[in-house]
């Protein structure tokens, strides 16, 4: 079997790449280890940057997102007994975010690929990459797929990055000494906008998915276990951390889904080797505080699509050779922003009273200086893709 681009992984990166290539007349096969049901149900992040929204709309897969997604024009930073709104409409006019679950994006992309006769294979076993320097091919479940190039879109725990010979990649990494416990609950959001709350007991985030479904996160110790967190304990802790301003009460409901996510920053450079190109979580991870993971994957895929379109049009390799460099600028900006948001809002055990005072002073600065608030806002809604 032969295709132009062999894509490993049917997350947002792999699926969007397959779709964008299709629009350029380039063939691909997507190989996914999990079932379709699994990837469509997997609850992940839910904040789409302006550029991500524009990309999906331009690619003809934004219809349901525009209908069901929730446009937001600000977020709240809550600390010290008060809420402070960061108004996007004032600080970054014309740019906003849309709250729409990652798994909804995945559903829309799978539907679009299948409607166009795309080749997306689920529950594929034993994917392995071969001959990356030239004439690459992928083996899986007893079959062989020859390709011109391979796109490794198989996330942080995939097989693509480890297929690169030792010594080629430089890895930059930061583990945080805490994790996020996330829940999805059948209850109307208690706030119209996202609330990022800093408290002495740790960070909490109030997000949402629809007028009847809310999403919450709690900072918990890195070794926290789900079985130690009963529904009552989760709601009590969310209340303690969020009901810190006069007049705010948190509505509670049935918890439909829960999970613990480790917090780390990770970048592997370069994001390519021979005929293999890494995109999304396969190449980099950010802590979720800046809501950048999915958006970075989309940005990578845009760059890769242009490079592959040029290559398949006339054999030119300039853009492909520059793929990693073109992506890494944005990747590192997002690493910094995510680290910055994380340190601004979480409690660190090693923090002494002096460090806590510094953190609060910085929060006061971000919420009172237009320059500082604009820094947050322009990174949060996402820097333009064409810069
Ligand atoms: N063979 C085939 N598929 C694989 C393999 C493998 N060996 N290993 C992993 N996969 C699949 C996973 O099952 C998953 O469906 O690759 C896919 C990778 O998807 P994601 O982890 O969603 O990564 P990506 O597409 O880069 O999306 C970016 O944004 O919100 C963030 O981290 C979040 O996943 C999100 C990311
Ligand atoms: C989410 O809604 O899942 C979400 C929102 C904001 C974040 C992270 C996750 O920073």
Which pLDDT tens digit goes with each residue over 143-152?
999 999 999 9
Nearest ligand atom owner, CA of 203: 2
- CA 39 to centroid of ligand 1, rounded, Å: 9
- CA 325 to centroid of ligand 2, rounded, Å: 28
Which regions of the chain does DSSP assign to beta strands (E)? 2-8, 28-31, 47-48, 70-72, 74-79, 82-87, 97-99, 119-121, 128-130, 137-140, 143-152, 170-186, 195-199, 202-210, 213-221, 254-269, 272-273, 276-278, 284-285
Averaged pLDDT, 21-39 = 98
* Percent of the chain clearing pLDDT 90 (strictly above): 98
What is the pLDDT at residue 77?
Answer: 98
DSSP track, 149-178:
EEEE---TTSSTGGGSPTTS-EEEEEEEEE
Closest CA to 155 of 47, 32, 291: 32
Averaged pLDDT, 154-175 = 98
Closest CA to 380 of 277, 248, 289: 289
Structurally, at CATH architecture level, domain 2-71+96-173+264-348 sits in 3-Layer(bba) Sandwich (3.50)
* Percent of the chain clearing pLDDT 70 (strictly above): 99
What is the pLDDT at residue 384?
Answer: 82
pLDDT at 385 over 80: no
The catalytic site residues sit at 72, 196, 288, 292, 380
pLDDT at 297 over 60: yes
Averaged pLDDT, 314-325 = 98
**CA dist 385 to 67, 152, 265, 380, Å?**
24, 21, 22, 13
Closest CA to 253 of 192, 186, 154: 186
What is the pLDDT at residue 386?
Answer: 66
pLDDT at 82 over 60: yes
Question: How does the average pLDDT of the chain come out, rounded?
Answer: 97
Q: Token pair for residue 289?
A: 């505080």
Q: Where are the domains of the chain?
A: 2-71+96-173+264-348
Give 198's pLDDT tier (boundaries 50, 70, 90): very high
pLDDT at 259 over 80: yes
What is the pLDDT at residue 84?
Answer: 98
Nearest ligand atom owner, CA of 341: 2
The tens digit of pLDDT for each residue in 53-75 reads 999 999 999 999 999 999 999 99
Q: Token pair for residue 143?
A: 């079959």
């Amino acid at each position: 079997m032969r295709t132009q681009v062999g894509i490993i992984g049917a997350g947002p990166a792999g699926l969007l790449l397959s779709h964008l290539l299709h629009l350029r007349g380039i063939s691909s096969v997507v190989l996914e280890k999990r079932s379709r049901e699994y990837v469509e149900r997997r609850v992940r992040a839910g904040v789409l940057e302006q550029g991500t929204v524009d990309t999906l709309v331009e690619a003809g897969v934004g219809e349901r997102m525009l209908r069901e997604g929730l446009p937001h024009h600000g977020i709240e930073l809550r600390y010290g007994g008060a809420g402070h709104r960061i108004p996007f409409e004032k600080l970054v006019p014309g740019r906003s975010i849309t709250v729409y679950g990652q798994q909804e994006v995945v559903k829309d992309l799978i539907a679009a690929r299948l409607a166009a006769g795309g080749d997306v294979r689920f529950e594929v076993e034993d994917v392995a990459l071969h001959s990356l320097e030239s004439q690459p091919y992928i083996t899986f479940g007893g079959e062989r797929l020859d390709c011109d190039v391979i796109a490794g879109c198989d996330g942080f725990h995939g097989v693509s990055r480890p297929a690169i010979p030792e010594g080629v990649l430089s890895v930059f990494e930061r583990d945080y000494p805490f994790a996020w416990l996330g829940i999805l609950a059948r209850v109307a959001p208690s706030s119209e906008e996202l609330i990022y709350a800093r408290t002495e007991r740790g960070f909490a985030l109030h997000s949402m998915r629809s007028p009847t479904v809310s999403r919450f996160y709690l900072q918990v110790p890195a070794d926290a276990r789900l079985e130690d967190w009963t529904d009552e304990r989760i709601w009590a802790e969310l209340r303690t951390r969020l009901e810190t301003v006069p007049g705010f009460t948190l509505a509670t409901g049935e918890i439909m889904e829960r999970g613990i996510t480790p917090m780390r920053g990770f970048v592997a450079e370069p994001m390519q080797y021979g005929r293999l190109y890494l995109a999304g979580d396969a190449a980099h991870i950010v802590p979720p505080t800046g809501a950048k993971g999915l958006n970075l994957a989309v940005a990578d895929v845009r760059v890769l699509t242009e490079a592959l379109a040029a290559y398949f049009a006339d054999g030119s390799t300039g853009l492909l050779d520059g793929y990693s460099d073109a992506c890494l600028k944005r990747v590192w900006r997002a690493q910094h922003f995510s680290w910055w948001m994380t340190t601004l809002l979480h409690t660190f055990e090693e923090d002494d009273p002096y460090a806590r005072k510094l953190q609060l002073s910085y929060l006061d600065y971000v919420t009172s200086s237009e320059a500082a608030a604009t820094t947050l806002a322009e990174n949060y809604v996402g820097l333009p893709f064409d810069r």
